[in-house]
Amino acid sequence: MADKRKFYVHTKGNEVMNEMLAELLPSENMSEQLCKDGRKRNVWLCTSVEFVDDFIVRVARFRHPSKLYELYMRERPGEPLELWPYDDTAPRSKSDRKNHRSRIRDIVAEQRSLLGIS
C-alpha cells in the first residue's frame, strides 16, 4: 500500500525560507490550511518524504533551524494538518549528512511500520 500522507512546511513567515521553497516548489503548492489546533497557517505542500528529508538537510546550515519552520502532515484528505514529529538534529557538517539521512529513513520506516504501511 502506497504512503498517502501529505507533508507540509510552515515557514512561520520567514522570507528566506519562503524564497527557498519558492525556488524548489511550484507556487500552487502554497496555500492556507486548517491545522489540528484550529488555526489556519500558510503552508507549502511538499512533493514527497524525500523532499522533506532534503529540505531538513538543506536548512541545517542556518542557525537554530528548528525555529524557522514546522513540518505538518495530513493522513487523509479533509483532515486538519497535524504537527509531524521529526528529527530536527540535522548535522551541520557535510561528513555527517549521510548518517543523518539514514536516521531520517529509519524514522520514516518506523512510522510506516507503526501505521501498517509497507
Give residue 101's pLDDT: 60
pLDDT digits 0-9 by tens, 63-100 = 766 678 889 999 888 899 998 876 555 445 555 555 65
Q: What's the CA gap between 81 and 7, in Å, rounded?
A: 9
Residue-averaged pLDDT of the chain: 80
Element (H, E) at 9: strand 6-10
Q: Is residue 1 part of a domain?
A: no
List phi, psi (to 5°) of 74: -130, 125
Q: Is residue 33 part of a domain?
A: yes
pLDDT band at 35 (very low <50, low <70, confident <90, very high): very high
Q: Is residue 80 part of a domain?
A: yes
Q: How many distinct structural domains can be found in the chain?
A: 1
Q: Report in angstroms the alpha-carbon separations of 115 from 50, 59, 71, 92, 112.
A: 18, 28, 19, 31, 5
* Residue 69, domain extent: 6-115
78 secondary structure, DSSP code: T
Residue 32 cell numbers, joined: 492556507
Residue pointed to by grid coordinates 489546533? 37
Q: What's the CA gap between 48 and 24, in Å, rounded?
A: 12
Q: Is residue 65 part of a domain?
A: yes
Q: Is residue 51 part of a domain?
A: yes
Q: Is residue 29 part of a domain?
A: yes
